Structure 1
Amino acid sequence: MRFLVLKFGGTSLVSPELRERVAGKIIAAKDEGYAPVVVVSAIGRQGDPYATDTLINLVKQSNRKIPGREKDLLMSCGEIISGVIMAANLQNIGCPAVFLTGAQAGIITDNRYSEARILKVHPNNITKYAQEGYVVVVAGFQGVSEDGEITTLGRGGSDTTAAALGVALNAEYVDIYTDVEGIMTADPRIVTEAKALQAITYDEICHLAHEGAKVVHPRAVEIAMQKGVPLRVRSTFSDAPGTLVTSSGEVYKGTIDITRDRIITGITYISGIAQIKVNTSSGIEGSRQQRRMFRALALAGVSIDFINILPEVVLFTVRDDLAEKAIKVLENAGYVAEVINGCAKVSAVGAGMSGVPGVIADIVEAMTKDDIQILQCNDSHTTVWVLVRREEMENAVRALHRQFKLAH
């Protein structure tokens, strides 16, 4: 069978009109000869009656510390409600459909409540119903542990469900439907000329997602990448082809020199972080101080990022809400630390930058043109990060988008 997995987020299911549009896309897939398997998130967002956060807040009126087991049982309800309604919509227009919970769909996880990892998928139930002509609707974001307890998969869990089912069913594609027309070169709320990419590599979208882009969860991409199942990020609200996420060989098929074709793929950002600077000694004594400092932060449960280690100074970032705690830990350990609150990390991501000279020069030039101070900089083979003040973040995103001509 030619399986196609279609995942729809909560904003795509919030009204009868939108659910009718979703049903149309499912029927269209069926008419193209696919066996559609539909993964759904909970309907709407916080404040909507059946959204996950709304259900949690309802219980917190009685008990603010919900045990993990009961919390996962509660959080699984939103997708069950959504899935039953979507199956009913399809049945109402004459399309045979059946709904399965994550457990019924054969999604087996470990037993970490609220952050469970998928261990394996037994898709026998899905295959059976598909062979009988049903559209199978599956609750995203949930599974069952090996000892029979309901679990949820954490942030981006429905994307992860869709990717895992795509791999288990050897699907031709996994389509992630959102409210945008694909993976954009930058946040269109900041860069009005941002455009949807036709194709992007697994590696690039993972880096974009880790660095702040919220269109598809990196864990879902990593699962799809393991078996080479192509993802397509598409819009519920249009018929645009969306963005194909696949291997670099497919993305750059036919090009002679991919570094000339596209050095930078997209610009993204993360705000709400603080920069911390700690002076240390030089030489062996400095190394010992640095090691002791990092150990103290780790033991205190302070996660650090964007680390630059120099002979006599260490720079790193933490979340703004952890800055005060980090400073206290350092002071208690005998260090003097300086902090700049209200920073943002702006990232330029592109598989084509590896080994290409001049990328850093272009980034510094773009920042200089707009009088944006770079507080810190770092790079990998696919990403260059710059740390700027939060009030300069949007200008930095626009400046880099212009510098690398991503609107063309």
Structure 2
Amino acid sequence: MRIIVQKFGGTSVASPEVRELVLRKIEKARSQGYSPVVVVSAMGRQGAPYATDTLIGVAKTANKNIAAHELDQIMYCGEMISAVVMAGTLQAAGMDAVMLTGGHAGIITDTNFTDARILKVDPTRINSLLKQGKVPVVCGFQGMTTEYEFTTLGRGGSDTTASALGAALNAELVEIYTDVDGIMTADPRIVDNPKILECISYGEVCQLAHQGAKVIHPRAVEIAMQKNIPLVVKSTFTDAAGTLITNIAKEDPDGAEVIDRVATGVTYLTNIVQIKVHLDDSMGGDASFKVFKTMADNGISVDLINIHPGQIMFTINAEHAEQASMKLRQQGYEIAVLENCAKVSVVGGGMREVPGVMASFIEALSSNRIVILQTVDSHTSISVLVPRSDVGAAVQALHEKFGLSN
């Protein structure tokens, strides 16, 4: 049996007209000899009656600090509505479709409500349905604890559902349908001429996602990578081939795709604050450790870390700035806070050990008079902190410098 997992995002199931397009994608997979497993997100985006953000808003009218356990019980509903409607659409077209919640589909999670992690996937029920010629329509974003409590998997969780089911079912392919034709080299709202990438490695797309590109959830990629299951990001609304995510080095033994393409894409994160912590000799040798321990104890994630004699620099999400500042000052640290920052990154598996990449990066920004506040790099990415007002110019400059334009 050739299994394919097809995941459809909120905009792909938001109206009867669009659901007809989804129906055609599923029919096409069946005509090609696949047994499809369909995964759906909640219908539409914020403002739509059954969108996840809308349901969260309903819950928070009663209590803006409602407990995560209760929040999950209402967040669970959006995908259930979507899956029922999508299953009904398939049934009306003559398919024997069966709606399954995440728990019914065998997705078992921990008890970290609103951001649960998958512990295991039991594919028994789905395999049984597929052998009967049925089409399972699974609620994305959902799981269930061993005590039968409903959980959700965090933002982008439907991608994770699709990938986890693909791995458990040994699927040939996982298709992620969205409203764009594939993964682009940059945000088309900022760059006029981004390219659709035909192929990208697991590692590169994870980097892009972690650095701000809203293409696919990195957890979904990491799960698929464990079994080397190809992922394709494509559009519900066109017949474009989309972007293949796979182990390029394995698919292309000559490595041409990785070596020749130094940079794969440019992405960004906004709503960032930089914190500088002053250190002096009187604080003792563990002063740096205490700074990061303070952040960890208060659940604050740090990024762009630079440690120098007498000073530590790092960035955090702006929503945690007030809390971080207060906690550090309570510990006796002298700090400086710089608001309205953004992180801009160039990602590419081909930049490893290539001379001149950092020079090109800095030249692109300095020639456009963009202030560089902080930098950090790895084998597959270079990131820079800039004023938020310079994000557009920085992304455009780097996109052109690394030859990513059409």
Question: Per-residue CA shift, 1:297-353, capped at 9, x if unaligned?
Answer: 333443321110011221111122222332222322222222211000001111111
Tell me which residue corresponds to 2:318: 320
Question: Per-residue CA shift, 1:142-170, capped at 9, x if unaligned?
Answer: 11111111111111111010001000111
Judge conservation of contact 1:201–1:251 (CA < 8 Å) in 2. no
1:204 equivalenced with 2:204 (yes/no): yes
How many residue pairs are counted as aligned between the two chains? 406
Judge conservation of contact 2:249–2:255 (CA < 8 Å) in 1. no
Tell me which residue corresponds to 1:378: 376
Map 1:158-237; keep pairs closer than 5 Å. Answer: 158-237=158-237
* Separation in structure 1 between the aligned mates of residue 257 and residue 25 of structure 2, nearest angstrom: 37
* Separation in structure 2 between the aligned mates of residue 157 and residue 86 of structure 1, nearest angstrom: 18
Tell me which residue corresponds to 2:341: 343
Equivalent position SS for 1:47? coil
* Separation in structure 2 between the aligned mates of residue 138 and residue 330 of structure 1, nearest angstrom: 46
Give the drift of 1:130.
1.2
Q: Which residue identity is paired with 2:343?
A: K
Judge conservation of contact 1:177–1:233 (CA < 8 Å) in 2. yes
Equivalent position SS for 1:264? coil
Residue of structure 1 aligned with 2:328, choices 326, 330, 336: 330
Tell me which residue corresponds to 1:272: 271
Tell me which residue corresponds to 2:307: 309
* Farther off after superposition, 66-75 or 230-239: 66-75
Equivalent position SS for 2:266? strand
Tell me which residue corresponds to 1:107: 107
Equivalent position SS for 1:90? helix
Tell me which residue corresponds to 1:358: 356
Give the drift of 1:36.
0.6
Judge conservation of contact 1:234–1:241 (CA < 8 Å) in 2. yes
TM-score by length of 1: 0.95
Judge conservation of contact 1:200–1:251 (CA < 8 Å) in 2. no
Q: Which residue identity is paired with 1:271?
A: T
The 1:257–1:15 alpha-carbon spacing in structure 2 relative to 1, beyond 3 Å, is closer
Judge conservation of contact 1:231–1:246 (CA < 8 Å) in 2. yes
Judge conservation of contact 1:252–1:258 (CA < 8 Å) in 2. no
Give the drift of 1:215.
1.4
* Separation in structure 2 between the aligned mates of residue 188 and residue 221 of structure 1, nearest angstrom: 23
* Separation in structure 1 between the aligned mates of residue 316 and residue 153 of structure 2, nearest angstrom: 25
Equivalent position SS for 2:304? strand
Residue of structure 2 aligned with 1:298, choices 296, 299, 315: 296
Judge conservation of contact 2:164–2:224 (CA < 8 Å) in 1. yes
Tell me which residue corresponds to 1:390: 388
Question: Per-residue CA shift, 1:95-122, capped at 9, x if unaligned?
Answer: 2211111111111111221111111111
* Separation in structure 2 between the aligned mates of residue 389 and residue 134 of structure 1, nearest angstrom: 53
Tell me which residue corresponds to 1:50: 50
* Farther off after superposition, 296-305 or 158-167: 296-305
Judge conservation of contact 1:56–1:75 (CA < 8 Å) in 2. yes
Q: For structure 2, list consecutive stretches of 5 or more residues without a partner in the other structure.
A: none
* Separation in structure 2 between the aligned mates of residue 309 and residue 322 of structure 1, nearest angstrom: 21
Residue of structure 1 aligned with 2:398, choices 397, 400, 405: 400
Tell me which residue corresponds to 1:262: 261
Equivalent position SS for 1:267? strand
Q: Which residue identity is paired with 1:191?
A: V
Judge conservation of contact 1:30–1:36 (CA < 8 Å) in 2. yes
Question: Per-residue CA shift, 1:329-381, capped at 9, x if unaligned?
Answer: 23222222222110000011111111111110000110111111111011011
Q: For structure 1, list consecutive stretches of 5 or more residues without a partner in the other structure.
A: none
Equivalent position SS for 1:61? helix
Map 1:1-20; keep pairs closer than 5 Å. Answer: 1-20=1-20
* Separation in structure 2 between the aligned mates of residue 297 and residue 147 of structure 1, nearest angstrom: 33
Judge conservation of contact 1:274–1:319 (CA < 8 Å) in 2. yes
Equivalent position SS for 2:62? coil
Q: Which residue identity is paired with 2:399?
A: H
* Separation in structure 2 between the aligned mates of residue 342 and residue 402 of structure 1, nearest angstrom: 25
Give the drift of 1:250.
4.1
* Farther off after superposition, 102-111 or 388-397: 102-111
* Separation in structure 1 between the aligned mates of residue 43 and residue 52 of structure 2, nearest angstrom: 8
* Separation in structure 1 between the aligned mates of residue 146 and residue 326 of structure 2, nearest angstrom: 42
Judge conservation of contact 1:286–1:312 (CA < 8 Å) in 2. no
Equivalent position SS for 2:292? helix
Question: Per-residue CA shift, 1:213-267, capped at 9, x if unaligned?
Answer: 11100001011111111100011111111001111324544445843x1011010
* Separation in structure 2 between the aligned mates of residue 253 and residue 197 of structure 1, nearest angstrom: 19
Give the drift of 1:58.
2.1
Judge conservation of contact 2:26–2:36 (CA < 8 Å) in 1. yes
TM-score by length of 2: 0.96
* Separation in structure 2 between the aligned mates of residue 204 and residue 382 of structure 1, nearest angstrom: 7
Judge conservation of contact 2:248–2:257 (CA < 8 Å) in 1. no
